[in-house]
Amino acid sequence: MTTAAEGIGRVPRWWALPSCVLAVVAVGWEVQQDQPLRWAMTGGLALLIIGLAATAGGYGLKIGRLELDRLLLWVLLGMFLAGQVVFGRAFAQDGNAMFLTGVLALLVGIELTRGLRTRLDEALQRLLDRRVVELPTGRRARFETELDHQTRKWSRLGSIAIAAILLIAWIVVLLGPSGSRYSLWVVLFEVIGGWVAGDRIGRMVAYGSFWSTLTREGRAVVRVMPGHADGAGGLKPVGDFFLYQSLSASVPALYLAAWWWFIPVAGLDEWRSTYVGLLVVAIVVEVLAFLLPMRSIHATMRAQKRQFTAQADRLSSDIAELRARLRETKVPADRQSLKDEISDLSEDYQLILHSPTWPVDPSIRRRFGVSNLILMLPLVGEAIGGTFWQELADALSKVA
């Protein structure tokens, strides 16, 4: 079994240079600002740990069966909670609750996304078992190789994009009247945390494109099944996967939406407009994580429904002929036989006519709609303003 020292030793050495430089700069800045040395050293150590975790996660390093980045990130949260006790009021001021819950949201989001590839493989296997998808062994190997390549590419792009967005948000706050109250290491830590989160978001983008990769150049044969018991033509496992991925991507939006309500209580009003902007970005990402991946599946299902429609037209003609025969038939047994045949063909006709064109059933649509309605409440509140929202914030302040 791999030990902690061996696991850390396998991390590429290049991670140390930027992490050490940022840690030294942050510690020097905090000391120059007359902050306690213990506080400055805590920040420097946090930057080193999250830098190591970011690199270990990118390379998939483990200690035995435990992912090295998972161990480091939860140790980091424990260190911050311990610091709450050690530093007392000094650690509790200036948005500490916002920072700690942000770290917790990051860890929860990462935990939810760790099993995404396994869930995707299971969804694909269920489609194969149902014979909705046929994929020869050799073609599956090429599909998985290309998906791995897409995952690496999008994880890097996602890291850069999310880190840049958080850096811009911090610049907006730091240039404001209350910018001097925040520690440099906190800023750098959250930007690196954005890099870690962006890696996961990039993976979601890659997994979201798996259908296009799967069906490209005729690798897979897809057969939608009208009337399938799952209510989605046999493709509901894919819809379930994308719903789970969307819910995983909603963790940042949940965090931002919750803090939109509690910012007045914490006395951090300079963050409210910034959080509204970030919330818009987070909701867009969460919605796209659900809808965009299904566009290619929708195109496949819609093309097959057009073929089914032609089949339904032929059935309608057969049904009309049988009904004409029924009117002319007098023998009771023959009439009953014709009625049964008409009933069977009419049932087939209705199944084909109502063949789904999205890999979701009503329960998935309902859960997705309700969750996003809740996330959008802060945006509605920001748009309409009024006294109600202010009175609610004042009431929360009094309770706190």
Residues of the chain with pLDDT below 70 are: 1-17, 86-95, 177-181, 217-218, 266, 381-400
Instruction: Please report the pLDDT score of residue 2 as a whole number.
Output: 54
Taking the C-alpha atoms of residue 31 and residue 72, their distance in angstroms, rounded to an integer, is 26
Contacts 24+ apart (CB under 8 A), 141-146: 142/219, 143/213, 143/214, 143/219, 143/220, 146/213
> Nearest-CA neighbor of 325 among 338, 315, 314?
338
Instruction: Please report the pLDDT score of residue 90 as a whole number.
Output: 44
Q: How many Cβ atoms from other residues are within 10 Å of residue 180's Cβ?
A: 8
Instruction: Please report the pLDDT score of residue 157 as a whole number.
Output: 92
Q: Cα 157 vs. chain centroid, distance in angstroms?
A: 16
pLDDT in tens, 243-293: 888 888 888 888 888 887 777 776 777 777 778 888 888 888 888 878 888
Instruction: Please report the pLDDT score of residue 178 as a whole number.
Output: 65
Instruction: Please report the pLDDT score of residue 3 as a whole number.
Output: 54
Q: Which residues contact 376 (CB under 8 A, 6 or more apart)?
A: 283
pLDDT in tens, 55-84: 877 777 777 788 888 888 899 888 888 877
Assigned token pair, 115? 């099993």
- Rounded to 5 degrees, φ, ψ at 35 are -85, 150
